[in-house]
Each structure stands twice: as C-alpha cells, then as structure tokens.
Structure 1
Amino acid sequence: MHDNTYRHPRAGWPGRLFAALANCTRLANVRQAILSRLPFLTLHSDVRDVVYVSWLVDAAAAQRLLPAGVVLWQRDGKTPFTVLTYRHGHFGPALPGPLRRLLPSPLQSNWRLYLHHTPPGAPAVPCVYFLKNIMDSLPHALGTRLFSDILPTHLAAGMTLDVSATQARCAIAPGAGSAPSLDVQTDIVAEQVLDADWQALFGNWRDAVAFLACQDAAIAHVPRNGKLVFGEIDLPVNLDQVQALAASHAQCGLLAQLPPLSTPFAFLVPGVAFKALSERLL
C-alpha cells in the first residue's frame, strides 16, 4: 500500500515541526473524538480551471496500492488513474456566506483511482479512492491534515496551473518533500474523440468524461487506525461545458508504480461549484 507520511519540501527545523504536526496521531485522535460528536462543517469552493489527465493503468498494480476490502473498477486488466489539478475559489466553510470571498484560493491536485463499489457501511454511490492530495498553501495542507482524514495532503515546493484560450499546463515540484512530481502540457482542441484503448472501455468521449468527473463520494485510508474514511461531495460538472485537451507532454511521479497501458486522456472543466458535505470513519 502507498505511503502518505508527510515530509516538508524544505529542510530545517520549521519543516521538521510541520511534519511532526502533520503526522501526529495523538492530535488526530483527539480531533476525531471531538469533531465526530459535532455536525459536519460544510465546505464550499467555486472551483475553476480543472485539468483532468487520466491513464489506463495495470489494474493488478493499482489494486496493490489499496487496503484490503477496497475493490477497483476494472475492465480487461485495466483501470483509470486520474490526476486533476485546479484552482479553488475561496475555499472554506459555507457558514460565512458572502464573506467567504475573503478566503484564499489555493491550488490543489487530487490523485485517484475508481472503485467498483463502495466499502461496507457506505452508501452505494459512484466513489473514488484518494491516493494523494497536493496543495501549494502551507495553512491549507496542515489544516487538512489536522482537521480531516479524507485528504492525505502534501505541500508542494512549487505548483503552477496556467490555462489560456488555447492551452492548459499544470506542474508540481516536490522539492525535498513528499509531494509527487507532475508536469502536464496540453492544447485545447475542438474534436472530442477517444483513442482505441479508451473507446474499448467507455465507447465515446462524453461517457468517458462522465465516468471520470462525476462522483458523489471519496474514501481514503487512515493509517493510524487502519480504517477507511468516507466523505460525501457535491460536484455538479456540466458536461456541455467540458473542453477536450490533447496532451503534448504528461509526466507523473506515480506512473512508475502504475504502469500505463494507454496514452493520456485529458479534458478541462472551466468551473464547478464544489461542496464537501460529510466525513466519517467506516
């Protein structure tokens, strides 16, 4: 199974302190004991410029990264692995209402696999498994580590997301930290087509996009207690607004563990109103 221990991207005692906080099981257990007795604080973000890049990878290799009892969706020994990178729009609790616009808008990248079904104890909804979560903001990276189990977040040494009328590019530089590397360059294209490998699994471009982008929940592994955490989300992607991308370069730090069996399939979601609705241990 993959390791999500936090390492800070820069050397020195501040980085060691941040790592100690991020990996502290005692703090996490206290937080979970308190927050599990309180109503979940719904989180909102007006997300924009979501660059999805996916590969069909070896399903057996991907399954080895997951805990026991978590079953991948697969066909003919292949399963999708997706990296989506985006800019938040004032990410934070919904409670402040219009004042939420004062909150910052960090960059985030989620790395995920797709499940055949949800684990026991969770409702039967389309669900993904979070392998990695990367952000470019130290307060947000530490905040998700200290106050949540669903996002195993790593801080990037550098992170970029550039979307123009003709191109989309995203990159993650790990530095000395635990964030994986990423470098993706794409062109926005008019033709919405699938190559033969993707077409064999999904039939057409729109159905592939719907499968990869439209989920109602996510799970992650909680190493300190060996349990799974289940989080419900609201991500109403408008498929009519999705733009096709052609990847001219796509380097990803996890592909050594997940041998790709296809060319990358990429697309752009210009914007979506994201909500995190719940989180609980299974």
Structure 2
Amino acid sequence: MASVAGVALWAAERALRRGRPEARYGRYARWAHPAGRWPVAPLNRVAGSRLLRARGERVPSVAFVSGITDVVHVNHVIDARRLAPLVPAGLEPQCLGERDDRAVLTFLSYRHGHLGPARLGRWRRLLPSPLQSNWRVYVRHARTGVDGAYFLSTAIGRTPHALGARILAEGLPMHVLGRDSRLVVEGGRIDLLPDPGRGSAPAAEASLVPLPERPADGPWRPAVASYEEMPAHCVPQDRALSVQPWRGRPVRQEISLGIPPERCVPLSGTVTSAAARALVGDAEPFAFLIPPYGSVSRRRRTPRCDRGAAPDPAA
C-alpha cells in the first residue's frame, strides 16, 4: 500500500509540474536553500513541490502581523517593455512618464518585528524578527484594472517562514537569506546586504547615507516630474498580485502597511547587485529610507479573486 501511495503522489507531482513549469522568476523559480545546519536536499524537495503548493491553495486565510522597521527602497526606472516579459500573462507594468513608457522595479529590505499570526496576540513577542528582502514590479491586472505589486522574488532570514510562505502564499515566492545578510541603520549610515549564501535568493549590497534635502533631479526624472511623486507611487502598493493560469484568474494578497510616503528620506551612496543588473541593465538606482513610524504592518493571505472580478480593496 505504501508503494502504491508513493507512486500516486509521484504521478500527481509530475502531472502538476506540466501545468506549473519552472520559471526564471516568481513562485515557480528554482529554489535552493543556503545550507548551514539544515538538511538541504529534503528542504529543496519540499519547497519545490507543486503538490504541496496546490494543497496550500486550499488552506484558509490567516492574518499575520509584524512591526517592521528601517524599510530601505532601492528603485530603478526603466523602459516598461523590458519589464513586460517578467510578469505573467494577465498582468502588465504600471506605466509612468509623459509617454507612459517607463516602469519601476524595486528591491526593498526591512527588519520584521516579531512576525507571526495575529491570533497569537501578546505571545507573538516570543517570535523572531527576521530580515526580509522583496523584489517587485508594480503592475496592473489588465482585465480588471486593479493595481498592485508582482513579486519576482522574496527572501527572508528564517527557513520555517520561507517554507510556510512558499507553500501557502501565492504572491510571495519566498527564498532563504544566508547567515551573512544584514541591515544596519545607525549613526547616519545604512549598511545593507541581502546575501543568499549558496541559496537561490537574489543578492545585493548597498552603503547609503541620508541626503540633507530632497533632490531636484535624479534617475526618477523620466518617470515623474518631482521626487515626491516617486515615493507616492512605490510606497502605497499594498496589494500583491499574481495569476493562476491553470484556473484563468488573478490572485491577490492584501498588505496593510499605513506608511506615509512623505516621511521617506532620500538616500545617496553605492548599490551593487548583479541580480538587479540582469533585470534593469544600466539603469541607475536611487534609494530612500522609511524610518520607524509607529505603525504595525498587517499581512493577510486572501482567497482567490473570482473569475473576471476585481478584488475588493477593503477586504
């Protein structure tokens, strides 16, 4: 009986893989754990299982809460046509600029504050506060006109968190950050290193300092007329959008952050990332910091959107 069950599971996995093939970015990108004290081979099999993720789509929604701090946005304005092939069919880049031909790719990093289910209440304080890095494109669902962020990749410094999101959260293609990853904001300097180690998370390194005032010009100019318009575009994107082509419908996850864009602090410095360069070419990065603002992020995994229906922004 055990062998029959094993063959059935193997067959189901193979069948699902035909409809959900490996992709360069997104939920079905190759997944590799950075090793360390974890057994790598079984973790890679679990994270790559289409069968587990298909089952995860049926798990009821759970509200998560985290008090995030020191959010660092690194942004690139590029030709929208360059980003279009990176997003799945049904989504399109949100276009900016006088000719509506510019789009924005962001990788942002932040420190969680005891990330965990909201139902834990005060016991959530016992949970860890890992570093997370998100790589996203701002998109619109072509049929419904709903805006959001499509995550090319995300990574977090805790393996259980990464596996949970990988299986349960359609819009969060989570990987694991290596042990050397860091985000230090102190003494007027920001030291950022989302490091994948030997894993599959995208890598970057930045050394940044706050600017004394908001710049009058910069790499954002082809997309917006003033600096203030760029945080206003990037920061309020509190919805993750993706699609399930095997069901022909979009999927969304609401993320209520409540971050005031006017609090963003412009940054200057060096940013190095082969992963970003592969996506944006020679586009010059520009960055800003969201300092602590006393708000708590609420992240909720929500059900699939109805076929052809727009998600409810208030859900």
Give the TM bin, normalised by the shorter chain.
0.7 to 0.9
Distance in 2 of aligned mates of 1:118 and 1:22: 27
1:5: which partner in 2?
A: 30
Distance in 1 of aligned mates of 2:285 and 2:93: 19
Residue 224 of structure 1: how far off its partner (Å): 7.9
2:84 pairs, out of 63, 73, 95, with 63
2:153: which partner in 1?
A: 132
Distance in 2 of aligned mates of 1:150 and 1:86: 18
**Percent of counterpart pairs with the same letter?**
31
Distance in 2 of aligned mates of 1:13 and 1:203: 49
Change (3 A) 1:180 1:216: closer
Q: Which amino acid aligns with 1:62?
A: L
Q: Which amino acid aligns with 1:5?
A: R
Give the 5 Å matches for 1:96-107: 96-107=120-131
2:226: which partner in 1?
A: 204
Structure 2: gaps spanning 5 or more residues? 1-22, 306-315
1:258 pairs, out of 280, 287, 302, with 280
Change (3 A) 1:253 1:97: same
Distance in 1 of aligned mates of 2:146 and 2:90: 16
Distance in 2 of aligned mates of 1:230 and 1:138: 24
Could you report, residue by residue, the CA deviation over 1:37-96 in whole angstroms, capped at 9, with x for unpaired residues?
x3x211111000101110112322211111112111224432111010000001111112
2:115: which partner in 1?
A: 91
Distance in 2 of aligned mates of 1:225 and 1:16: 31
Q: Greater strand share, 1 or 2?
A: 1
Distance in 2 of aligned mates of 1:205 and 1:269: 15
Which protein has greater RCO, CA pairs closer than 8 Å, 6+ apart?
Answer: 1
Answer yes or no: is 1:279 the counterpart of 2:279: no
Answer yes or no: is 1:181 the counterpart of 2:203: yes
2:141 pairs, out of 103, 118, 122, with 118
Distance in 1 of aligned mates of 2:291 and 2:51: 40
1:165: which partner in 2?
A: 187
Could you report, residue by residue, the CA deviation over 1:4-46 in whole angstroms, capped at 9, with x for unpaired residues?
221122389911100100111111222223x1xx3x2111110
Could you report, residue by residue, the CA deviation over 1:167-196 in whole angstroms, capped at 9, with x for unpaired residues?
112112223221111111111122111524
Distance in 1 of aligned mates of 2:219 and 2:135: 21
Normalized against structure 1, the TM-score is what?
0.88
Question: Which range moves more in the overlay, 128-137 or 4-13?
Answer: 4-13
Change (3 A) 1:228 1:254: farther
Distance in 2 of aligned mates of 1:15 and 1:216: 33
Answer yes or no: is 1:45 the counterpart of 2:66: yes
3-state SS of 2:77 partner: strand
Give the 5 Å matches for 1:31-42: 31-33=56-58, 35=59, 38=60, 40-42=61-63
Q: Which amino acid aligns with 2:212?
A: A
Contact 1:247–1:264 (CA under 8 A) maintained in structure 2: no
Residue 225 of structure 1: how far off its partner (Å): 6.9
| Number of residue pairs matched by the alignment | 274
Give the 5 Å matches for 1:186-265: 186-221=208-243, 228-261=250-283, 263-265=284-286
Q: Which amino acid aligns with 1:130?
A: F
Residue 239 of structure 1: how far off its partner (Å): 2.9
1:268: which partner in 2?
A: 289
Larger-Rg structure: 2
Could you report, residue by residue, the CA deviation over 1:246-279 in whole angstroms, capped at 9, with x for unpaired residues?
1233325132232243x21211111342111342
Contact 2:219–2:286 (CA under 8 A) maintained in structure 1: no
Contact 1:216–1:233 (CA under 8 A) maintained in structure 2: yes
Change (3 A) 1:19 1:244: same
How large is the RMSD of aligned CA atoms in angstroms?
2.4
Residue 197 of structure 1: how far off its partner (Å): 4.0
Q: Which amino acid aligns with 1:274?
A: S
Residue 145 of structure 1: how far off its partner (Å): 1.2
Residue 199 of structure 1: how far off its partner (Å): 2.8
Answer yes or no: is 1:20 the counterpart of 2:41: no
Could you report, residue by residue, the CA deviation over 1:196-253 in whole angstroms, capped at 9, with x for unpaired residues?
4413422222221111111231113558878643111111112343212112333251
Normalized against structure 2, the TM-score is what?
0.79
